[in-house]
Chain A
Amino acid sequence: GAVVSQHPSWVICKSGTSVKIECRSLDFQATTMFWYRQFPKQSLMLMATSNEGSKATYEQGVEKDKFLINHASLTLSTLTVTSAHPEDSSFYICSARESGGGPQHFGDGTRLSIL
């Protein structure tokens, strides 16, 4: 089945550091990838839709300059949390949709802890 790989799984770093999270579709091409944030015991909150070769579409309330998204190829999207602060600590999950309207598959997520 389709596999989405997300890396790293867990990041702990100091306040002010920028953190890059990678999302790869391993066996399919993904024109569109999605980045979510999830707080404990809450559902997924869509942050942005990443389109290959074009600018990401951010949801209302999500700071573009804070959460930089790059979708340089059909198999890779990256999310960079710039100058991270403790309030950015969360579980970040990427997903990619199979072309032709197939299911959306999720990466394993990245737990980000900012000290």
Chain B
Amino acid sequence: EDKVVQSPLSLVVHEGDTVTLNCSYEVTNFRSLLWYKQEKKAPTFLFMLTSSGIEKKSGRLSSILDKKELSSILNITATQTGDSAIYLCAVFPGTNAGKSTFGDGTTLTVKP
């Protein structure tokens, strides 16, 4: 059975801190790994990673995939209270019709 594990489950930091969220996976058929941010509504897409070692960056957020270690990290630098959310990691299978596997998420709380 495909599995995606995120750590930590929950994290509380202060504004300005840098955080690293982890995602590891065990899937039979890997195509890509995605990161999402979920606040009060449904998840919003952050990054899609397909190739190992290539960093994707968007403002203060960045992410990288390590296919050898079957893992990915999401970094957030100079955190702000608006970064408080649940961050979800998902792995997509090799077929378009296949279902994705989501981790349980990391709840990040950024205190002022």
Contacts and interface: CB of A to CB of B under 8 A. Distances in A.
Contacts of B102: 43-44, 46
Interface string A49-92: 10100000100000000000000000000000000000000000
A95 B44 CA distance: 11
A31 B98 CA distance: 11
Interface of B: prevailing SS: strand
Contacts, number: 55
B99 to A, nearest CB: 5
B76 interface: no
B79 to A, nearest CB: 21
Given A46-B99, A107-B42, A108-B42, A101 B88 contact: no
Interface stretch (B19-27, B60-68, B89-97): B89-97
A43 B105 contact: yes
Contacts of B99: 34, 46, 49, 57
Contacts of A57: 99
A100 B105 contact: no
B45 A43 contact: no
Interface size class of A (residues with CB under 8 A): 20 to 34
Interface in B67-106: 88, 90, 92, 96-97, 99-100, 102-105
Given A43-B105, A101-B31, A106 B96 contact: no
B108 interface: no
Contacts of B90: 104
A42 B103 CA distance: 10
Contacts of B31: 101
B7 interface: no
Nearest to A1: B45
Contacts of B100: 34, 104
Given A6-B42, A104-B100, 11 more contacts: A31-B97, A44-B43, A44-B102, A46-B99, A46-B102, A101-B32, A104-B34, A104-B45, A104-B92, A106-B44, A106-B45
